[in-house]
Amino acid sequence: MKKKYVYTSLTVLLLLLFLASILWGKNRISITAIYNLLTGTASQALQFTVVELRLPRTVLALLGGAGLGAAGFLLQGVTRNDLADASILGINSGAGFFVLIYLGFFAQGNGFLLPLLALSGGLVAVFLVYAIANQKGPFIAVDKLLLAGVAVNAGFGALTLLGTIKVAPDRYRFVTNWLAGSLWGANWSYVFILFFWLFILITITLVQLPYLDLLQLNDEQALSIGVKVRKIRLRFLFLGAAIAASCVAFCGNLAFVGLLAPHLTKRLLKDRATQRFPLTLLIGACIVLAADTLGRLLLESGELPAGVMVAICGAPYFLALLVQKPKMQ
């Protein structure tokens, strides 16, 4: 498939999913109603539903999906393994645990403190993974990195479960919805703050992205041409952790998005990292938008969180990759 055709098709799909996310829900909104809204003749109830409820939720799903896709792309590039993901390496659970403590015991969480706490938790997870996998010499053992991530993920998962048990009853529903990856309760302040963080982090990533292709070489080969393998790998680990943690802060623990998006990108486009990276953002946004929209429609009462919908598709895909015996460097 030609690159232009792939990008055009995914952009059209994203626009359709964006529109569907606004129109579809427990109360359907017609195209005519959207036209009335744009021309200023819609009712106040419709304006509130679209502008204050559905639109921020839709944009937040788009941003969160794109960010988690970007994080997965970086982590898979660093580890040279298609099974790598922020949720598997413990970054999501580390960020989630820190945010859980804040949301569950101290405040409801507005402003810039949420992504800072999530970033702290994600970096703690990365530090623990790196400390476990660290070895002498210029390289990092990639297989140990993945195994250490599984262990750290399990540890933070246990702490998170303990935290939900101890959380105050009046905040339990809010916290459990957030942990399940529910975008219910999204607002414009969340959208603007997440956009600010992602804009900075992805801009830095785009500058560093050409180095990611060098990491696909054998470590000895990369070192022989002057590539500082350990330094570059740590840089991308930090960026992946920071992007994933920022998304977790506002979208909850959306596991498997970072696994699915980069892998689907590789199937659609065989090219350098700089060419595939934007496509991964598009696919990640499509995955979360589709999951959130379907989650609102499947149940007659209530809704399925986007994180649950993604896991329903992501878990079997992950098992299929395991059966294929992926190459571990």
For 151-170, give the DSSP string. HHHHHHHHHHHHHHHHS-HH
Average pLDDT, the chain: 83
Q: Is the pLDDT of residue 201 over 60?
A: yes
Q: What is the mean pLDDT of residues 56-64?
A: 94
Helix (H) or strand (E) segment spanning residue 149? helix 142-166
Where does the pLDDT of residue 214 fall: very low under 50, low under 70, confident under 90, or very high at 90 and above? confident
- What burial class does residue 21 get, using C-beta atoms within 10 Å of its C-beta: 0-12 exposed, 13-18 middle, 19+ buried? buried
Q: What is the mean pLDDT of residues 252-267?
A: 87
Residue linked to tokens 């390289």: 139
Where does the pLDDT of residue 58 fall: very low under 50, low under 70, confident under 90, or very high at 90 and above? very high
Q: What is the mean pLDDT of residues 163-172?
A: 77
pLDDT computed for residue 138 by the predictor: 52
Which SS3 state, helix, strand or coil, does residue 182 take? coil
CATH superfamily to which 1-88+181-322 belongs? ABC transporter involved in vitamin B12 uptake, BtuC (1.10.3470.10)
pLDDT computed for residue 1 by the predictor: 53
Q: What is the DSSP letter of 111?
A: S
Q: What is the mean pLDDT of residues 173-190?
A: 80
Tokens of 44: 């106040």
Tokens of 308: 């649950």
Which SS3 state, helix, strand or coil, does residue 312 take? helix
Select from 115, 101, 254, 244 the least CA-distant residue to 190: 115
Lowest mean pLDDT among 172-176, 273-277, 306-310: 172-176
Q: What is the mean pLDDT of residues 74-102?
A: 84
Q: Is the pLDDT of residue 226 over 70?
A: no
- Highest mean pLDDT of the ranges 9-23, 73-87, 286-300: 9-23
Q: What is the mean pLDDT of residues 311-328?
A: 70
Which SS3 state, helix, strand or coil, does residue 129 take? helix
Tokens of 37: 């809204």
- pTM of this prediction? 0.88
Between 75 and 229, the more confident residue is: 75
Where does the pLDDT of residue 74 fall: very low under 50, low under 70, confident under 90, or very high at 90 and above? very high
Instruction: In whole angstroms, give the CA distance from residue 151 to residue 97.
Output: 15
Cβ contacts of residue 234 below 8 Å, gap of 6+?
130, 140
Where does the pLDDT of residue 81 fall: very low under 50, low under 70, confident under 90, or very high at 90 and above? confident
Phi-psi region of 189 (alpha: psi -120 to 50; beta: other; left: phi over 0): alpha
